[in-house]
Chain A
């Protein structure tokens, strides 16, 4: 019996086909992973299954019946539920209120049967090992708990087919484990789970079947037990990919970034950093591992003079011996610091600007790009050509391409190229360097980061991907509630790199 059966699904937007001739079957009671790079068509496909998009051609069957959903409402009625990457919950309402929203089964102006609903929810939750307080307000929950609420919402509505879009992107290793336990328990009950992800380790760990997508097509659907991580990567990218960058022994020099007893509070008076201390030396990568929201953003904003937090008097940040407090972002940059922010589209590029205009963004004050009161377009054009070549930036068929038209990986390459090439670069602040970046591009970005380190640049790496932290870092600091709770020395990291999984678990203990 097939829970979902797609045959010949094609979806075009204007002239581009997001999905072309996609056919696949998802067995009832299976955990079916769909993997692929950004823009491979995964989310379009899920949106078609969930009724948010209508296919241009092709047919879909759910539990054997041919269907055509015009709205998500119809998909929900057919027993399909979806957990979006960004949760759709209302902060000011309780868990129960959020779950029964739209399902109140009551006439307008009649009292709600909240307690009845709450006990039903608790029953479902305990059955699948998802602890939750039904009376808690959403705003007081952690990200992992919010996700549990989203899943419970689907179960409360008796969904039989669950679509999960990148469910582990925001979870800690611990929370991921809990999620997987719950998913297995749901599977035992006969639910079908469709998992959209780009994390290959997780695909291998949890799924029964895996479909690989590339440029809108299904490259293959195979039983998970029959493939390796390398196989999947090759199917996704279309060539052999080095999943782990070579990391030769580093030779650190003098201290470039010194953060000592740094404490700060946000404008509402909540403590964000708490006596944080660490140093980054020239020629080393200092990795900060941690769950998002433990002070990473505040630290980066302080280092780039963009913070509205107030710091305590004993806080110290020095960059190559000079205090960073009181400097403007421009002065910090001019003292040889580059910053690759967490959210590149918001903070690092102007999407509507051309590639060449973005390559000088933040460096537009450098004389070599100037001519009179304007820019030297020849110098900029040749610089652009040189970078496009060196960083293998794709999608640049002509020079009139804006950054908005490029894939995430190519956008990130532009930011990286620009920031690594800053004259007199001493320190690189690097946040989530491969977020939303394809595996093919990750390889190149990691290589460039190692190469920069070997040129003697001090690098502060902040990433939510433990795998990335482990494979790149010289030393690793575990950030928890605004302080380094534990630091792994260079030797410890080098020795532990071989057994990734175990090391991840060890780090996981210090960050939760």
Chain B
């Protein structure tokens, strides 16, 4: 019982320690941490626009968090969220540009969403196939695929797709754009937050139901806990490995729905950079649980935009250090809880 409480509290403890640590760094730069923290709160949750920014960032991080969390159920460590999100963004933008104007919005958005999921999902599936067929460790293959995708997409952008003397493609067709919360229901005006957040929350809920409430999830978790026993019980372990990697990749790819369809409306260099890696932290902090991921993504979304909002006073790198400290602490604390 005590163990469970300790495990449940460890994320909070980690966050508290990391905040204290950031405060020390802030003091070292000669600033008053209390002033900065209150400034940061005012600029984020204290303002309509700031809240919208956080919601926008949280939405992407939920997806890249799921990209790590789903394969994690099978003891697979998907480090490829970065590349998968990029592939998703690229294919969603490509689909969005190709779709003719005048296509019904539902059709255009669905096509682009499927393209985003397919872009990331195929990448994840490929890493899974390398694992099943050739026993290539998924950590190595997903990292390498990150580089390959980045290089490929950069080449395509600079040499073929970018508008002259810019680093972005033409805009996607208007039909494929997802309206912002500001335009549709009048909250979080002018912020990049858009209706795709609702879709993403639904995906989270569905993931939870599939993993914990269905026969498929029962078999899948069994494969993660005891692969040998699962094989003896007639469960096709390889199928589950492939499915989880593909689902993880697809989740990362779907970040494009939020970023490309909902906000930027084109593909641009560096559009998704960093969200894949932050997703690892999001998943770890939430114990790879699809519902807790929402909270953990919210925290990282807040830290990310909060850091940006006071960049004028202290370098936002301090908050990146804070994020990294949180991750290390979380692992230390959960290991301690296991031993206690």
Q: Which residues of B contact A306 (CB under 8 A)?
A: 231-232
Judged by a CB distance under 8 angstroms, whether B273 is at the interface is no
Q: Which residues of B contact A373 (CB under 8 A)?
A: 214-216
Q: Which residues of B contact A304 (CB under 8 A)?
A: 232
Q: Given contacts A350-B226, A353-B225, are A364 and B232 in contact (CB under 8 A)?
A: no
- Segment of A40-48, A60-68, A328-336, A491-499 engaged in the interface with chain B: A328-336
Judged by a CB distance under 8 angstroms, whether A273 is at the interface is no
Interface digits, B202-245 against A, CB 8 Å rule (1 contact, 0 not)? 00000000000111101101100110111111100000000000
Interface contact A374-B214, CB-CB below 8 Å:
yes
Interface contact A351-B226, CB-CB below 8 Å:
yes
Instruction: Tell me, rounded to whole Å, the shortest Cβ–Cβ distance linking A408 to chain B.
Output: 16
Which residues of chain A (318-347) have a CB below 8 Å from chain B? 328-330, 333, 339, 341, 346-347
Instruction: Tell me, rounded to whole Å, the shortest Cβ–Cβ distance linking A335 to chain B.
Output: 12
A-B pair count, CB < 8 Å, reads 55
Interface contact A350-B222, CB-CB below 8 Å:
yes
Number of interface residues of A (CB under 8 A): 25
Bound-state Cα–Cα, A348 to B229, Å: 5
Judged by a CB distance under 8 angstroms, whether A375 is at the interface is yes
Q: Which of A304, A350, A373 has the most CB of B within 10 A?
A: A350
Bound-state Cα–Cα, A346 to B232, Å: 10
Q: Which residues of A contact B226 (CB under 8 A)?
A: 346, 349-351
Of A329, A365, A370, A375, the contact of B232 (CB 8 Å cutoff): A329
Bound-state Cα–Cα, A373 to B213, Å: 8
Q: Given contacts A348-B229, A350-B222, A350-B226, are A370 and B215 in contact (CB under 8 A)?
A: yes
Of B213, B216, B225, B231, the contact of A350 (CB 8 Å cutoff): B225
Of A333, A346, A353, A370, the contact of B222 (CB 8 Å cutoff): A353
Which residues of chain A (118-143) have a CB below 8 Å from chain B? none
Interface digits, B132-148 against A, CB 8 Å rule (1 contact, 0 not)? 00000000000000000
Instruction: Tell me, rounded to whole Å, the shortest Cβ–Cβ distance linking A193 to chain B.
Output: 35
Bound-state Cα–Cα, A350 to B228, Å: 10
Instruction: Tell me, rounded to whole Å, the shortest Cβ–Cβ distance linking B288 to chain A.
Output: 14
Q: Given contacts A347-B228, A350-B226, are A362 and B233 in contact (CB under 8 A)?
A: yes
Interface contact B215-A328, CB-CB below 8 Å:
no
Of B218, B228, B232, the contact of A339 (CB 8 Å cutoff): B232
Judged by a CB distance under 8 angstroms, whether A225 is at the interface is no
Interface contact B216-A364, CB-CB below 8 Å:
no
Mostly, the A contact residues are loop
Interface contact A362-B234, CB-CB below 8 Å:
yes
Judged by a CB distance under 8 angstroms, whether A175 is at the interface is no
Which residues of chain B (248-288) have a CB below 8 Å from chain A? none
Judged by a CB distance under 8 angstroms, whether A357 is at the interface is yes
Interface contact B215-A341, CB-CB below 8 Å:
no
Of A333, A350, A364, the contact of B215 (CB 8 Å cutoff): A364
Interface digits, B23-36 against A, CB 8 Å rule (1 contact, 0 not)? 00000000000000
Interface contact A328-B229, CB-CB below 8 Å:
no
Bound-state Cα–Cα, A346 to B228, Å: 7
Interface contact A374-B222, CB-CB below 8 Å:
no
Judged by a CB distance under 8 angstroms, whether A352 is at the interface is yes
Interface contact A364-B219, CB-CB below 8 Å:
yes
Interface contact A349-B229, CB-CB below 8 Å:
yes
Which residues of chain A (355-390) have a CB below 8 Å from chain B? 357, 361-362, 364-365, 370, 373-375
Bound-state Cα–Cα, A223 to B77, Å: 58
4 extra interface residue pairs, beta carbon distance < 8 Å, beyond A350-B225, A350-B226, A361-B233: A349-B229, A353-B225, A364-B215, A373-B216
Interface residues of A (CB under 8 A from B): 304, 306, 328-330, 333, 339, 341, 346-353, 357, 361-362, 364-365, 370, 373-375
Q: Offer 30 A-B interface pairs, CB within 8 angstroms, sorted by A.
A: A304-B232, A306-B232, A328-B234, A329-B232, A329-B233, A330-B234, A346-B229, A347-B232, A348-B229, A348-B232, A349-B226, A349-B229, A350-B221, A350-B222, A350-B225, A350-B226, A350-B230, A351-B226, A352-B225, A353-B222, A353-B225, A361-B233, A362-B234, A364-B219, A364-B233, A365-B215, A373-B214, A373-B215, A373-B216, A375-B215
